[in-house]
Structure 1
Amino acid sequence: MTMKQITMFVWNNFTNDARVTREAKALSDHGYKINVICKKEKNEKYLNSFQQYNEGYTAARIYKNEIPQFLLNKIKNPKLNKVFKKHLPNALLMFKMIQQGRKNEADVYHSHDLNTLIQGVICSKLRRDKKILVFDSHEVNTSRTNYNIKIVGIIERLLIKFVDVTIVENDTRAKYHELLYGIKPISLHNYSEYYDIQSVDAIDLYKRYQIPNKKIFLYQGGLQKGRGLDLLIQAFYEANVDAYLFIIGDGKQKMELENQVKALNLNEKVIFTGRVPYEKLRAYTKSAYAGFQILQNINFNHYSASSNKLFEYMMAHVPVIATNMPEIKKVVDTEKIGLIIEDNDINALKNAIITLFENEVLHNEFVQNMKNAKEYYNWENEKKILLDLYAKLFEVK
């Protein structure tokens, strides 16, 4: 029997994408040949253009060409400058990804998020022998920060007509998608892989950063607006606990947050580690006393999030302080693994930090509950949904 081929498209360099990595590995382990087509930016030339992973899947990184700066400087019209600086290079990259995708001759094309869906549509449907197209929507594209909602909505509504199966992160998003397009997609949660945190060699953060041994509060994730990070730093300052706040990650808000830390004279208590490779992240998480998932309700994308970091904390037995979003609250309250606060409430956040810091009995209860909860909330259980989906797709075909 010929091995079935699946081509996945992602709009990143595929070095830190935990969800796509899990899916690629799960499908590869079950006999599918997986090719991931991703991108490589100008500052990422060190990355391999082609990479064979031990787990059996491959990645082809397509280089994103950019217009030279000296030419951009000659374009004085701001709108035209943006076209040449951003939109034209992106369009060219999409074209090159489509070329690679057509060359692969896959049985299924699997587009991760809206910015790779046009690649999937052209490769799977604009041909005589049409192929299966899966749309794996990690975000709510019609309600996201910095997105032109009207244009995005038009594009998604047009392209979704070509899709055979849509995957979203949870039931809240599935209901929203059904309301928009009349079809309820499959829910596939972004749970962490199951592992024993005791078997993980922790990175000695005290030695690495030359600091005394104190409790560590941890945030891991993107440093962007809407993540509640400026509120977190202010609340940590007001809580005035004898502990550290580690912020793992990178993003557009990093400099602003660093300046806030300096202004509050917190340099010795708040530590920015920068981005940590996904495969090393749990070695950092293991050292944490508590973790934060404090998304702000600024759009439906945030409101409906399940958040992979919640389950990464769970797998490492790190109690959480989280905001009152339905999918997050449902897990935290049902399993009793942390404290829920209202978003934008600095006083509640401050009090939650103090409570967890001082009440070690409550903290230990949360830890024990996480040990139990992770037996259900893990990728080993959840991936069966993905595998069943693909088995049915090929039965139909």
Structure 2
Amino acid sequence: MTKLIYICHIINGENDGGMARNRAFYNYFSNRNSEIYNLYNKNIGIRILNLAIFIFHFFYFKDKKILIHLGTIFTIFPKAILRTKIGLYCFYQFFKRLSKKNILYLEVNDLPYEQAIDLNLKVENFYLKLQDVIFDKNLSVSYVFASHEMAKYILKKYSINSSKSQVIINGAPKMEKRRDNNKILKSYQSFDLKYIYVGTLNEGRGIDELIILFQNLNSYLFLVGVGGEWLNERLKNINNIIYLGSFDEQQAMEITSECDFGIMHYDSSKFYYNLCYPTKNSFYISAGINVVSTKLVESQNVISKYNIFLFEDFNKWKKIIDNPLQYFEDLDEINEYIKGQFYWNNILENLKI
């Protein structure tokens, strides 16, 4: 059996949704007949060496089965290079050769151009040119998308045959046995309901809207994730909203499991949020808690059949949080069967490569 060549960039210590997905793929292929090229290392010298070894082997790749993450492209061709005409041309030749001489699968977690627009990031036109290359229908590339809506959008926009795509949604690990020494939430009054938001906490990601909503309510809101240092000052005079910090995935899941409800607050008016399937959906499910979520198209497509999330417009959340049992009483309990549908190991078994 021919080994799969898996090309990735695993950044230890980074816990955002995209890297959690990359790490899940890495763990999956580490236990299979795969040849792995992890091109990232925090030591710049080792990173250059890894890249040099990969480029050397690249010229000998022929009739191989190869999977590469879209994000890994930026490790091979940094943005500073792709912004130039010659850099983009070199990437085109690289990608064309890789797809022409091999069976190539491109894993697509995010769409850089569309994501930048809706997340208020720097929108650069080279992203569009890059996407024109990687989604060229004339190239022999198959795609592994992170959501059904993303696949539908790309296949239509670039006139790609649906037979060249598959969807592997973002999953979550199974929560390990709880540790007896987890006392992070023990000091908070048990009779107050505990809501939790787990994810990137950078300003401009809708966190301030949650603070405004919760600051006058009789429930706790816990915030967990990277990029939340600004919250220490913002929450100085608010007692029921607590920034706990950033934790590894298992400890964050353990903390989440001690809460009553999860928060999935993405702006449903933005195109990209409806296109993607957020990792935190599966994370909350694995932790075993019901969730109040804005009405996101892809999230509803995947989760509604289980009746475990309450999907409602954000302007109605105050009424829900004031009387949660009235609104959540008809939701089903998240049992082991439902959790199993969102574990990474089970999801990745559906990968057809």
Q: Distance in 1 between matches of 2:98 and 2:207?
A: 47
CA distance in 1, matches of 2:150, 2:265: 19
> Tell me, what secondary structure is at the counterpart of 1:329?
helix
Give 1:99's match in structure 2, choosing from 46, 49, 52. Answer: 52
Output the CA distance in 2 between the equivalents of 1:109 and 1:297: 36
- The answer to whether the Cα contact below 8 Å between 1:113 and 1:135 also exists between their aligned partners in 2 is yes
| In structure 2, distance between residues paired with 1:163 and 1:129 | 6
What is the rounded CA distance, in whole Å, between the counterparts of 2:302 and 2:350 in structure 1? 19
Q: Give how far 1:349 is off.
A: 1.9
**Within 2, Cα distance between the matches of 1:222 and 1:139?**
15
Residue among 183, 192, 195 paired with 1:217: 195
The CA deviation string for residues 330-375 of structure 1, in whole angstroms up to 9 with x for no partner, is 34432221321224x2xx122222232x54xx64653514555324
CA separation of 1:329/1:336 partners in 2, compared to 1, >3 Å: closer, same or farther?
Answer: same
The answer on 1:295 being equivalent to 2:266 is yes
- Amino acid paired to 2:3: K
Q: Does residue 345 of structure 2 align to residue 380 of structure 1?
A: yes
Deviation at 1:101, TM superposition (A): 2.0
* Structure 1 contact 135–167 (Cα < 8 Å) conserved: yes
Which residue in 2 is equivalent to 1:116?
Answer: 73
Matching residue's letter, 2:282: F
Stretches of structure 1 lacking an aligned partner (at least 5 in a row)? 41-48, 50-61, 65-92, 390-397
Q: Which residue of 2 aligns with 1:178?
A: 155
CA contact (8 A) 2:275 2:297 kept: yes
Return 5+ residue gaps in structure 2 as ranges.
Answer: 78-90
Q: CA deviation at 1:312?
A: 1.1
Q: Measure, in 2, the Cα distance between the counterparts of 1:298 and 1:364.
A: 28
Q: Give 2:20's aligned residue.
A: 18
Instruction: State which of 222, 240, 252 in structure 2 corresponds to 1:269.
Output: 240
Say which of 136, 155, 168 aligns to 1:188. 168
Tell me, in whole angstroms, the C-alpha distance in 2 between the residues paired with 1:298 and 1:151: 26
1:102 CA displacement: 2.2
Instruction: Give the equivalent residue in structure 2 for 1:7.
Output: 6
- Deviation per CA, 1:113-172: give whole Å up to 9, x if none: 356268386766558994443321111223123142533111211243456222111111
- The correspondence of residues 342-353 of structure 1 with structure 2, limited to 5 A, is 342-343=313-314, 345=315, 348-353=316-321
Does the C-alpha gap of structure 1 residues 279 and 31 become closer, same or farther in structure 2, counting only changes over 3 Å? Answer: farther
SS in 2 for 1:20: helix
Task: Work out the percentage of aligned pairs sharing the same amino acid.
Answer: 19
Equivalent residue, structure 2, for 1:81: none
Q: Does structure 1 residue 338 correspond to structure 2 residue 291?
A: no
Give the counterpart letter for 1:235 in structure 2: L
Q: What are the within-5 Å matches in structure 2 for residues 1-397 of structure 1?
A: 4-10=3-9, 12-13=11-12, 15-16=14-15, 17-40=19-42, 62=44, 98-103=51-56, 107-114=64-71, 116=73, 119=76, 126=97, 130-144=101-115, 145=119, 146-148=121-123, 150-161=125-136, 164-183=141-160, 184=162, 185-193=165-173, 195=174, 199-201=177-179, 203-207=182-186, 210-213=187-190, 214-224=192-202, 227-238=205-216, 240-241=217-218, 243-251=219-227, 254-255=229-230, 257-262=231-236, 265-266=237-238, 268-297=239-268, 299-343=270-314, 345=315, 348-356=316-324, 358-359=325-326, 363=328, 366=331, 368-369=333-334, 371-386=336-351, 388-389=352-353
What's the offset of the Cα at 1:108?
A: 4.7
Measure the CA separation in 2 of the matches of 1:153 and 1:320.
Answer: 35
Tell me, what secondary structure is at the counterpart of 1:366? coil
What SS is found at the alignment partner of 1:234?
helix
Residues 1:135 and 1:36: Cα distance change in structure 2 (over 3 Å): same
What is the SS of the residue equivalent to 1:205? Answer: coil
Relative to structure 1, the CA distance from residue 97 to residue 28 in structure 2 (aligned partners, 3 Å threshold; closer, same or farther) is closer
Give distance in 2, aligned partners of 1:353 and 1:9: 42
Supply the RMSD in Å over aligned alpha carbons.
3.3
Contact 1:7 1:37 in 2 (8 A): no
* Matching residue's letter, 1:250: V
* Alignment check: 8 A CA contact 1:141 1:301 kept: no
1:228 and 1:11 mapped to 2: Cα distance? 28
Does the 8 Å CA contact 1:332/1:339 hold for their aligned counterparts? no
CA offset digits 1:172-216 (Å, max 9, x no partner): 1111011221114221111223x367x333622234xx4444432
CA contact (8 A) 1:313 1:320 kept: yes
2:293 and 2:312 in contact (8 A); partners too: yes
